[in-house]
Structure 1
Amino acid sequence: MQVLELGILVHSVIIGVSLGASVRPSTIRPLVGALSFHQFFEGVGLGGCIVQANFKVRATVIMAIFFSLTAPVGIVLGIAISSSYNVHSSTAFVVEGVFNSASAGILIYMSLVDLLATDFNNPKLQINTKLQLMAYLALFLGAGLMSMLAIWA
């Protein structure tokens, strides 16, 4: 569970740096909207995992505080970094692309390995065909909706 929390924290810092380093309004507006929804649902998912893990209250509060602070800290770092170089250079575009790619890769890995694999290997899901069907339907519906969201991003 701590590996999931750490991965999500690193992901949130990287996506925050990416947003903070962006200077084009055409990039910032969609990123703010996507980041808001993304952080909300990521927080709900992480909160569900924390509840299932039955951590003590102190550990739960610490995890929630760290999750709440990582994206804003990343944004501040991104703003600080972007003020030290030419944001319209090809190097800036490459750095922004690498940060976005790293962030997406971390999230995909964490969701597949730590969340979906655990849920889909649950014995309750394995013996209930109707529940399996609903889980796969929700997975594909969510992936389809997120892909459709990329039209506006």
Structure 2
Amino acid sequence: MSELLKCAGCNWRVIEPDEDVTEDENGYANKRCADCQIQDCTCGFDDGLITLVADWETVSDDEGCTISPDMLPVIITVKATTKDEAIEAASDKLQAHFGTSVDALFETRIERDFWFGLNETDAFLRLCAVLQGSPAVIDEDAFFTVLS
């Protein structure tokens, strides 16, 4: 049996040589082991994209009763490197998409800070997930409002 090759990531001799896997002069394989590949994986996501998944907070209707808005959850993909940048960019997208008046939210003077409760405002949306990249969304039955 052939001697195992060293992984360039972790230095362990765990890679079996074959016709596609060769070694350099120091005994390192031309690929990483499975553990290092998983750690380094970006899973095909585009760098610089963050996807936010959010659902609607409760709001007060015209009579002052607390209700859940009859609106679809939102999935928003934006160019950003941090969660905070993503929330800022998503707020801009939401403002452009919904505008300043949304009947289901019983609000006619919506500002961009209201969407995620920026600057100590009451939030319309509750952040449910933050994902790196732009995942493929299967929304055949229109279960979400998708903004990308």
Structure-1-length-normalised TM-score:
0.25
More strand per residue: 2
More helix by share: 1
Higher relative contact order (CA 8 A, sep 6+): 1
TM score, norm. by length of structure 2? 0.26
